[in-house]
Amino acid sequence: MANVKAKINQIMAASIVTLGVFGMGTVLGWSSPALPNMTAEGAGGHFVNVSKDEQAWIGSSATLGAFVACPFGGFGIDKFGRKRTLLLATVPFAAAWILIGCSKTVFLMCLGRFTSGFCASIFTLTAPTYIGECAEPHIRGMLMNAFQVMLVSGILFVYLLGTILSWQVLSFICATIPASFLLLSLLIPETPRYLLSRGDIASAKKSLLWFRGRSISTPDIQAEFESVQNSVHNSVANKTANFSDLVKPNVLKPLAISLSLMLLEQLSAFNVVIFYCVDIFTGAGVQLDSYWSSNIVAGIQVVVTIFATPLVDMAGRRILLLISEAFMGLAFVALGAFFYLKEHNYGGIDALGWLPLVSVTVFIVAFALGIGPLSWTIMGEILHPDVRGLCSAIAVSVVWFSAFIVTRLYQVLVDGVGVAWAFWIFSLVSISGVFIVYFFVPETKGMSLDEIQALYGDKKGRKNTKEGESDNVE
C-alpha cells in the first residue's frame, strides 16, 4: 500500500511542478494561431499591418526571455529552493499574459512575450531538478517524460483554443495556468535534498516520508535518508559552485553531452514548426484548413509523447534517440523536396498535397519519441550533483538562445535560400545527431544516479550506495 501511495504522491508532485511547463507549451504555441488571427485582413485592431519582421520579433521574443531567465533560475534553485523558485515565477507569468491580451503596440506585445518566456523558462529549468530529486529510480524516466507530455499538451491546448477564440481571449485564458500552479503548490513539499543542504533535517525527513508514502520512518526509509545525507555532505555546497568546477572531467563530460542534446533539439527547428505551423501549411497549399492541420499535428504529438513515456524505461534512451534523429532528418528532406518542386512549378505537385502534412507529422512523432523528452530526461540524470544548478542554467541557456536564433532567423533563411533549402539545412542537423548519439551518449536505462556519475569517474563517497537509495534525490 505504501508503494502505491508513494507512486501517487510522486506522480502528483511531478504533475503539479510541470504545470508551468504546460504554460511554456502555451507560450511556444501561442504565435501559431495568434499571429495569423491578429494580422488577417478584416481582423481590425492594432496589428493588421505589422511587418513580417515585427511578427518575427513577436514570435521570437519569448525565447529571448527564456534565455535571459536561465542565470536567475539557476541561482534561484540553489538559493531559494526548487519549490520557492517556481512560486516566485508564477505571479509575473500570469501578469505577462494579461499584458499580452491588453497590448496595443508591438513593443508591449514583445514585452509581454519576453516576460512570459522568462517565467516559463524558470519552470523548464527547475521542474527536471525537482522531479529528479524526488522520484524513485524505477519510475524516474516516466516522471521525467511528464515534462514533455505537459509541454506538448500546452501546445495542443493553445492551438485548439486559438482556432475558435480571438488572440486576446486566448491570452487571458493562458493566464489561469500559472495561477492554478500557485494554488496546487500548497499540496507538495520541497525536495529532501535541498532541505538537507540547508540543514533542515526535520523538514527533510518529513518530505522524504511524504514522497515515499509513509507516515512513520522505517529501516529502508532511514537507510535512504542517511544515504542522501551522506551524499549531501560529500557534495560541494551549491553556493560555492563556480565556472572553474566545469573543467573537471566528471563535470565537463556530462555537461558536454547535455549541451549537445539540447542543441540537437533546438537546431532541428522544432520551434519553427510550432511557432509557424499554420503559416507552413498555408504556404504549402495544404487542402485541409491550416488551423485544423496544425491541431491534428499537435494532437498526434500529445498521443505519441504519452505513448513514449513508458518506452523510456523499457526500450532505453539511446535507441529512441537514434530512431528520433534519423526520422526527423528524413521528414525534413521530404518536406524540403515538396517545397522545391512547388517553387519550380512541378506539374504533378497537386498529387503530392498530402506530403507536407505527413512530413510534419512524422517529424513531430519522431521528435516526441526521442530528442524532445530525452534531452531533458538525460540532463536531469547525468549532470553532476555538486554543480547541478550551474550546469542546468548553462544547458537551458543554450536551449533558449538557440531557439531564439532559429525562430528569429527562420524568415531570413527562407528569404535568402528558399523554404526548400531551409528545411534541408535543418535536416542535416538531425542526421548529424545520429552520429553524435551513437558515439557519445551513454545508455542510462535502469541505472541509479550514483551509477551514472560513476560512468564519468565519480566514485568518491558513492561506493557503498545501494541502487534505489540515494539516486532518487541526487
pLDDT digits (tens, 9 = 90+) for 303-327: 888 887 777 777 888 899 999 999 9
Query: What's the mean per-residue pLDDT of the chain?
Result: 83
Task: With a cut of 60, say whether residue 263 has pLDDT above it.
Answer: yes
Determine the average pLDDT of the residues in 445-455.
75
CA distance 124 to 116: 12
Signed CA dihedral, 187, 193, 199, 203: sign only: positive
- pLDDT score recorded for residue 311: 77
* pLDDT confidence bin for 285, thresholds 50/70/90: low
Bigger pLDDT: 275 or 370?
370
Bigger pLDDT: 249 or 95?
95
CA distance 8 to 306: 18
Residue 186 in grid coordinates: 500548497
Of the chain, the percentage scoring pLDDT greater than 70 comes to 89
Distances from the Cα of 16 to the Cα of 83, 215, 442, angstroms: 11, 22, 30
- pLDDT score recorded for residue 235: 65
- Classify burial at 416, counting beta carbons within 10 Å of its beta carbon; exposed 0-12, middle 13-18, buried 19 or more: exposed
Contact 74, 125 (CB under 8 A): yes
Look at residues 33, 282, 80, 40 and name the one whose alpha carbon lies nearest to residue 174: 33
The runs of H, that is alpha helices, within 235-354 are 249-267, 270-275, 277-284, 290-314, 317-343
Look at residues 294, 302, 361 and name the one whose alpha carbon lies nearest to residue 327: 361
- pLDDT score recorded for residue 238: 45
Residue type, 255: L
Domains of the chain in start order, with CATH, are 2-473 (1.20.1250.20)
Residue type, 161: L
- pLDDT score recorded for residue 396: 79
Q: Tens digits of per-residue pLDDT, 204-234?
A: 888 888 888 877 777 877 887 887 777 777 6
- pLDDT score recorded for residue 41: 58
- Classify burial at 115, counting beta carbons within 10 Å of its beta carbon; exposed 0-12, middle 13-18, buried 19 or more: buried
Bigger pLDDT: 203 or 380?
203
Determine the average pLDDT of the residues in 69-82.
83
Contact 262, 395 (CB under 8 A): yes
* pLDDT confidence bin for 469, thresholds 50/70/90: very low
- pLDDT score recorded for residue 464: 40
Q: Tens digits of per-residue pLDDT, 127-160?
A: 888 888 888 877 777 787 777 789 889 999 999 9
Contact 237, 197 (CB under 8 A): yes
pTM of the predicted model as reported, rounded to 2 decimal places: 0.76
- pLDDT score recorded for residue 287: 61
